[in-house]
Structure 1
Amino acid sequence: MNVQINGKLLVLPKQISLLAWIGNQNIPLAAVIVEYNGEILSRDHWETTLLNEGDQVELLQFVGGGR
C-alpha cells in the first residue's frame, strides 16, 4: 500500500492506524499535529483512522528555541 508522508512515498505492508504508525516512528505524540488528506485531524481520531492507499499525511512538530 502506497501512502505519502511528509512528501515522501512510503510502501506499507499492511493497513495500520495512524496512531500505531506514529508510535512506531518514536515521534513524541504531545508535540505533533496531523494533517490527513488536507484536513487537520483531531487527536481523538488517530487511533481509528487507518492509513489507506493514496493517503497524504503531513506531520507537523512543535519545536522550542529562540530568545
Structure 2
Amino acid sequence: MNVTINGTAHELPRGATVALAVQRLTEARSGVAVAVNDEVVSRGAWDSTTLAEADRVEVLTAVQGG
C-alpha cells in the first residue's frame, strides 16, 4: 500500500503499523513524535495502530542544538 511519510511516498505492506513507518525514517526510539492524518499517535499505540492506503504520516524527531 502507498502512504506518505514526511511528504514522500513510501510503499509499505498491508497491515503496516506506525512503528514500521517510524523505522523507515529513523532508528531513534526517544524524542520522536508521530501524527497520522493530522492526529497525534501516542508512543504506546505505535505497534497497534495500523496504516491504510493514502494515509499521511508525519514523523518528528527532537534535535539538540542552539
Same fold (TM over 0.5): yes
1:33 aligns with 2:57: no
The question of 1:52 aligning with 2:52 is answered yes
Which of 1 and 2 has greater Rg?
Answer: 1
* Structure 2 gap ranges (5+): none
State the distance in 1 between where 2:16 and 2:50 align: 5
Q: Residue type of the partner of 1:6?
A: N
Query: C-alpha separation between the residues in 1 aligned to 2:29 and 2:47?
Result: 12
1:14 is matched with 14
- Quick one: distance in 2 between partners of 1:26 and 1:62? 12
Aligned residues: 66
The answer to which of 36-45 and 17-26 deviates more is: 17-26
Q: Which runs of 5+ in 1 are unaligned?
A: none
For residue 24 of structure 1, report the CA deviation from its aligned partner: 5.1
TM-score w.r.t. the length of structure 2 is 0.83
Tell me by how many angstroms 1:13 deviates: 3.5
Large movers: runs of 4+ above 3 Å: 23-26
